[in-house]
Amino acid sequence: MKIKAAVVYEKGGPFVIKEVDLADPKEDEVLVKIAGCGVCHTDEGVRKGDIPLPFPIILGHEGSGIVEKVGTRVNRLAPGDHVIFSAYRCGECEFCLSGHPAECIHMVEGSFSGAYADGTRRHRDENGVELHSFFSQSAFATHVIANQNNTYKIDDDVDIALMGPLSCGVNTGVGTVLNIIDPPAGSGIAVFGCGGVGLSGVMGAKIAACTTIIGVDVVPSRLEMAKELGCTHTINGKEVEDVAGEILRITGGAGIDNCFDTTGIPALINAAIIAMKQLGKCAICAAMEENIMDMRLTSRVRSEAKYLIGVTEGDSNYPFFLPKLVDFYKAGMLPFDKMTKYYGLEEIDRAFQDSLSGKVIKPIIRF
Ligand SMILES: NC(=O)c1ccc[n+]([C@@H]2O[C@H](COP(=O)([O-])OP(=O)(O)OC[C@H]3O[C@@H](n4cnc5c(N)ncnc54)[C@H](O)[C@@H]3O)[C@@H](O)[C@H]2O)c1
Ligand SMILES: [Zn+2]
Ligand SMILES: [Zn+2]
């Protein structure tokens, strides 16, 4: 069928809005009419070439929409269902079966290879050029094909165009706090980077009843939003040179219980190790250069029994956790809509610019 999609033809290139041919869904796949797709920093990483994927490509991995057609073997979804998607999970490997689908051994081939998990490509432009896909989804488009394993039915009494960011950015922030850090009620947490992921971590910390929540960023409007979403304290990293010292000051010298870094900046991760109490966990989720640790701090990690933990997609068990995020939103506990702004497909370049400049935290392309 003919769909409309935003295609990036070369590394660093603009989005080109095209009519594109999309293949039919296979027997275990669904065709979904997209209502919205969030802009995540990871899309920009691929567009710029920092995350190497083949071009031309249709990006977009925070899609939401309504099922239009299902393959013959699809048994969990039906036309009319409201759905969001996750990164690819096979459903059968040891990590999928033990409730850690973000670590699925086929995740990279299904999400970051430029093809669907079975190695096929499903899109062609008007010149017959095969287009690469992203996350077995490619949701900067009016329609997508997705495997039923990575497509999740959610309640239909919420604005479906808004729900896409729940699947990646919000899931990564809330999931990292609730699933990995698992902070006790009444504890403290510092969140480095108040973008879509960090602010979702702040909302997760509020859900977990943390009573000291420190947000660190360099953009004043983001620090304002951090306060609105639950931070008890904020630190502007441009004004405060010694972030660890400031966290120690805020906590009366005791240190903070846990930290969550979304910046990938070595100095901040080192500050987390210094500013945490014994047994503190510092979760890290951003792409970063190698050798981030100041090796002099490893003795501190050992002697103070601290944890440095890498996290993908909040280590969420998607079928269980993604609908729970919708419940949090409906209960008023996850007001992630405050971070969002809608753009039309034709405005996608501006949506990316506004995300990069810090003007908008979570743009959503609405169809
Ligand atoms: N591991 C995963 O599964 C996963 C999932 C989604 C996103 N990510 C990654 O997480 C990271 C965050 O994503 P995002 O969408 O929130 O990005 P974002 O760009 O919206 O947020 C990053 C924030 O860090 C702030 N920042 C930059 N320099 C700083 C400094 N020196 N001190 C303090 N703050 C600083 C920025 O102002 C921005 O608000 C990205 O690297 C993204 O690729 C990882
Ligand atoms: Zn993402
Ligand atoms: Zn798997």
The confidence score (pLDDT) of residue 144 equals: 98
Q: 3-class DSSP state for residue 343?
A: strand
CATH architecture of 173-312: 3-Layer(aba) Sandwich (3.40)
Tallying the residues shown for the chain, one arrives at 367
Q: Is the CB of 172 under 6 A from ligand 1?
A: yes
Minimum-distance ligand 1 atom for the alpha carbon of 312: 3
Q: How far is the CA of 246 from the centre of ligand 3 (A)?
A: 42
Residues 280-314 have pLDDT tens digits of 999 999 977 666 667 677 888 889 999 999 999 99
Ligand 3 centre distance from Cα of residue 313 (Å): 14
Contacts of 351 (CB under 8 A, 6+ apart): 39, 343, 360, 363, 365
Question: Phi/psi at 313 (nearest 5 deg)?
Answer: 45, 40
Residue 266 Cβ < 6 Å to ligand 1: no
The angle subtended at Cα 326 by Cα 312 and Cα 58, nearest 5°, is: 55
How far is Cα 110 from Cα 147, in angstroms, rounded to an integer?
10
Is residue 168 lining ligand 1, measured as CB closer than 6 Å? yes
Task: Give every residue of the chain whose pLDDT is below 70, as ranges.
Answer: 289-293, 295
* Cα three-residue angle 200-179-101, rounded to 5 degrees: 100
* Residues forming CATH 3.40.50.720 domain(s) in the chain: 173-312
Q: Is the CB of 163 under 6 A from ligand 1?
A: no
In CATH, 2-167+335-366 is 3.20.20.70: no
Strands 63-70 and 82-85: antiparallel
CA 109 to ligand 3 centroid distance, Å: 11
CA end-to-end span of the chain: 17
Q: Which two tokens stand for residue 262?
A: 């979304």
Nearest to 31 by CA among 158, 134, 139, 154: 139
Rounded to 5 degrees, φ, ψ at 329 are: -60, -45
Q: Whose CA is nearest to atom 21 of ligand 1?
A: 195
Closest-CA residue to 82 (of 187, 183, 20, 156): 156
Phi, psi of 254 (to 5 degrees): -75, -30
**Cβ of residue 283 lying under 6 Å from some atom of ligand 1:** no
Residue 218 per-residue DSSP state: S
Q: How many CB atoms lie within 10 A of CB 2?
A: 10
Q: Is 222 in the pocket of ligand 1 (CB under 6 A)?
A: yes
Domain with CATH 3.90.180.10 in the chain: 2-167+335-366
- Which protein residue has the closest C-alpha to ligand 1 atom 41? 286
CA of 113 to the centre of ligand 3 (A): 16
Q: Tokens 């909302």 identify what position?
A: 203
Q: What is the pTM of this model?
A: 0.96
User: For the segment 28-63, what is each residue's pLDDT rounded down to a tens digit?
Assistant: 999 999 999 999 999 999 999 999 999 999 999 999
- Say whether the peptide bond before residue 56 is cis (omega within 30 degrees of 0): yes
Query: In whole angstroms, what is the distance from residue 144 CA to residue 84 CA?
Result: 11
Q: What is the 3-state secondary structure (H, E, C) of 309-339?
A: EECCHHHCCHHHHHHHHHHHHHCCCCCHHHH
Q: Which ligand is nearest to the CA of 265?
A: 1
Q: What is the pLDDT of residue 237?
A: 97
Question: In 166-237, where does DSSP find H-type helix?
Answer: 169-175, 196-207, 220-229
212 lines ligand 1 (CB under 6 A): no
Strand partners, 308: 282
Say if ligand 1 is within 6 A of residue 339 CB.
no
The reported pLDDT for the residue numbered 290 is 65
Of all protein residues, the one whose alpha carbon is nearest to atom 9 of ligand 1 is 286
Given ligand 1 and candidates 50, 219, 240, 262, which is best to mutate, with the most ligand atoms within 8 Å of its CB? 262
